[in-house]
């Protein structure tokens, strides 16, 4: 039953994220025809700065609370008020930086946009503890409803405002409405109600946990958003709009699959934190399953990216196709390795998690400005190259605490990787012989993807069954 609960949670949250992103992307074909790359770019420039505060919203305190009984209201309330104070300060800092940022980037539209988005960190902070309480009780369906409803509301408002001629403000409103609706749903659903109490001594353990998590948030922001700031400054908002769109699509697998599994599996990692053998089994089996789903899909879109972007976004966004193709290897790898975060948090190795992102961030801060001086394509290619080059180091820090090896992990990735390479070779070979329209090429890539999934199941059926039995055994002793 525990495995079923985990699978249900992952499935529900994945479905919610798929729907949320589908609702968001349902607006893309409309918005890309009504808004210019420059308008997308200026909002991306603002969000690159807002995102760091969203990552820092609770400094990891909510994840720490999952380990504490909800009946200990004193601790939960103290963490809530600490979070409100911290995220309120983040919102004020964003507001203070709004117009100086506009002057620095030479983009007058940036000031009022950043000032409006400055409210998001405080909203996110207010939601972090209710979300932790729902996660603790494994109320995945409720969390999914929040994702569903907020996505619909944001998409509707964005499209309406774009048709009314609000330009970049359509995208701003989409973000604000999304967070506001999510707040209404989660606060209504949670049983947590903060008391007017604040005891610093009760926070001590959680602040130690949060210290490294806060460092992780800052360095993760740098590794994921520093390039956007550089591109916006060096190449302008129009170029940033193309770059941000390619990055947004590249990150879909991580946002849909990786993040959902991350949220659902974290409580189980906490329960098994002393049993490293079982943790390693979960990691390796989850890695194979995720890679089998993500790698061929990413390869199919990458090899037909010109046609995909033309049909989805229109010809004016064609330049983003090659950027996406260059990003694809990084997107596939990051979607699979995202499990390192909840694992290292669960076993109390938040320092290793911080180190992972800090090292990558330093390397990227050196490389990104140099690459941006060359071209957008150079930045995307450099990001993928650095992600691949850093992977052995990442795996060493990630697997060593639970007794795993890089060889074991690479073996878990071998099948999906070879299958994806075969898909690319077949597609390129056919495309060279047969002239295909954009629609025909997309349909061909989709057919190749279905065949790839079928081949994986056919060749690996025995291993899949063995893996499922292993996972059942691992979860057998856990409570629902």
The band of 281, judged by pLDDT with boundaries at 50, 70 and 90, is: confident
Looking from the CA of 376 toward its CB, the CA atoms found within 13 Å total 24
The band of 52, judged by pLDDT with boundaries at 50, 70 and 90, is: confident
Burial class (CB in 10 A: 0-12, 13-18, 19+), 255: middle
The band of 286, judged by pLDDT with boundaries at 50, 70 and 90, is: confident
The band of 6, judged by pLDDT with boundaries at 50, 70 and 90, is: very low
Arithmetic mean of pLDDT over the chain? 80
Chain centroid to CA 213: 16
Percent of the chain with pLDDT over 70: 76
The band of 1, judged by pLDDT with boundaries at 50, 70 and 90, is: very low
The pLDDT value recorded for residue 263 is 59
Structure tokens at 9: 């949670």
Work out whether the CA dihedral 367, 50, 33, 35 comes out positive or negative.
negative
pLDDT average, residue stretch 275-285: 81
Question: What residue has token string 């596939």?
Answer: 332
Report pLDDT digits (tens) over 153-207.
888 898 899 888 888 899 999 989 988 998 888 888 887 777 777 666 655 665 6
pLDDT average, residue stretch 8-33: 61
The band of 302, judged by pLDDT with boundaries at 50, 70 and 90, is: very high
List the single range of 36-45, 57-66, 366-375 with lowest mean pLDDT.
Answer: 57-66
Report pLDDT digits (tens) over 258-271.
555 665 666 677 77
List the single range of 15-24, 111-120, 244-253, 373-382 with lowest mean pLDDT.
Answer: 15-24
The band of 96, judged by pLDDT with boundaries at 50, 70 and 90, is: very high
The pLDDT value recorded for residue 450 is 93
Kindly report the three-state secondary structure assignment for every residue of the chain: CHHHHHHHHHHHHHHHHHHHHHHHHHCHHHHHHHCCHHHHHHHHHHHHHHHHHHHCCCCCHHHHHCCCCCCCHHHHHHHHHHHHHHHHHHHHHHHHHHHHHHHHHCCCCHHHHHHHHCCHHHHHHHHHHHHHHHHHCCCHHHHHHHHHHHHHHHHHHHHHHHHCCCCCHHHHHHHHHHHHHHHHHHHHHCCCCCCCCCCHHHHHHHHHHHHHHHHHHHHHHHHHHHHHHHHHHHHCHHHHHHHHHHHHHHCHHHHHHHHHHHHHHHHHHHHCCCCHHHHHHHHHHHHHHHHHHHHHHHHHHHHCHHHHHHHHHCHHHCHHHHHHHHHHHHHHHHHHHCCHHHHHHHCCCHHHHHHHHHHHHHHHHHHHHHHHCCCHHHHHHHHHHHHHHHHHHHHHHHHHHHCCCHHHHHHHHHHHHHHHHHHHHHHHHHHHHCCCCHHHHHHHHHHHHHHHHHHHHHHHHHHHHHHHHHHHHHHCCCCC
The pLDDT value recorded for residue 3 is 45
The pLDDT value recorded for residue 378 is 94
The pLDDT value recorded for residue 381 is 95
Q: Using the predicted structure, report yes or no on whether residue 24 has a pLDDT greater than 80.
A: no
Question: What residue has token string 């972090």?
Answer: 128
The band of 114, judged by pLDDT with boundaries at 50, 70 and 90, is: very high
List the single range of 43-57, 249-263, 278-292, 430-444 with lowest mean pLDDT.
Answer: 249-263
- Whole-model pTM: value is 0.70
Work out whether the CA dihedral 307, 313, 317, 323 comes out positive or negative.
negative
Report pLDDT digits (tens) over 208-258.
556 656 666 677 667 777 888 888 888 888 888 888 888 888 887 776 665
Report pLDDT digits (tens) over 375-432.
889 999 999 999 999 999 888 888 888 888 889 899 989 989 999 999 999 999 999 9
Structure tokens at 117: 């988005």
Q: Using the predicted structure, report yes or no on whether residue 299 has a pLDDT greater than 80.
A: yes
Domain boundaries, the chain: 1-225, 236-479
Instruction: State the Cα–Cα distance between residues 265 and 273, nearest whole angstrom.
Output: 12
| Better-predicted residue by pLDDT, 474 or 321 | 321
């Amino acid at each position: 039953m525990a495995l079923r609960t985990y699978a249900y949670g992952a499935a529900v949250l994945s479905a919610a994220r798929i729907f949320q992103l589908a609702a968001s992307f349902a607006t893309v074909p409309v918005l890309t025809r009504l808004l210019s790359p420059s308008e997308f770019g200026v909002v991306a420039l603002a969000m690159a700065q807002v995102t760091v505060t969203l990552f820092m919203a609770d400094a990891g305190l909510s994840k720490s609370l999952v380990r504490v009984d909800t009946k200990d209201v004193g601790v939960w309330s103290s963490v809530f008020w600490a979070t409100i104070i911290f995220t309120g300060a983040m919102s004020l800092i964003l507001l203070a930086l709004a117009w100086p940022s506009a002057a620095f980037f030479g983009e007058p539209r940036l000031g009022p946009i950043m000032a409006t988005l400055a409210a998001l960190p405080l909203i996110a902070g207010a939601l972090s503890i209710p979300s932790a309480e729902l996660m603790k009780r494994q109320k995945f369906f409720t969390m999914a409803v929040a994702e569903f409803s907020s996505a619909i509301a944001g998409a509707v408002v964005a499209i309406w405002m774009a048709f009314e001629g609000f330009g970049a403000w359509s995208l701003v409103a989409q973000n604000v409405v999304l967070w506001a609706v999510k707040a209404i749903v989660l606060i209504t659903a949670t049983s947590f109600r903060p008391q007017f109490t604040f005891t610093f001594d009760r926070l001590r353990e959680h602040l130690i946990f949060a210290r490294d998590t806060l460092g992780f948030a800052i360095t993760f922001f740098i590794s994921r958003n520093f390039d956007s700031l550089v591109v916006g400054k060096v190449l302008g908002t129009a170029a940033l709009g193309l770059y941000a769109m390619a990055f947004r699509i590249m990150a879909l697998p991580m946002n849909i699959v990786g993040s959902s599994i991350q949220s659902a599996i974290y409580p189980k990692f906490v329960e098994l934190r002393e049993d490293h053998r079982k943790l390693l089994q979960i990691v390796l089996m989850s890695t194979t399953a995720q890679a089998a789903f993500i790698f061929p899909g990413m390869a199919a879109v990458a090899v037909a990216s010109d046609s995909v972007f033309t049909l989805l976004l229109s010809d004016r966004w064609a330049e983003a196709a090659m950027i996406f193709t260059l990003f694809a290897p990084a997107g596939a790898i990051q979607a699979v390795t995202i499990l390192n975060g909840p694992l290292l948090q669960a076993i109390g190795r938040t320092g290793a998690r911080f180190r992972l992102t800090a090292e990558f961030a330093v390397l990227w801060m050196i490389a990104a400005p140099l690459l941006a001086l060359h071209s957008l394509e150079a930045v995307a290619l450099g990001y993928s190259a650095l992600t691949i080059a850093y992977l052995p180091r990442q795996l060493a820090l990630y697997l060593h605490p639970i007794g795993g090896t890089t060889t074991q992990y690479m073996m878990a990735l071998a099948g999906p990787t070879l299958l994806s390479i075969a898909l690319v070779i077949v597609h390129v070979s056919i495309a060279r012989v047969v002239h295909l329209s954009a629609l025909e090429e997309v349909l061909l890539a989709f057919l190749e993807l279905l065949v790839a999934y079928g081949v994986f199941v056919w060749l690996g059926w025995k291993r899949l069954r063995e893996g499922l039995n292993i996972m059942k055994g691992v979860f057998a002793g856990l409570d629902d």
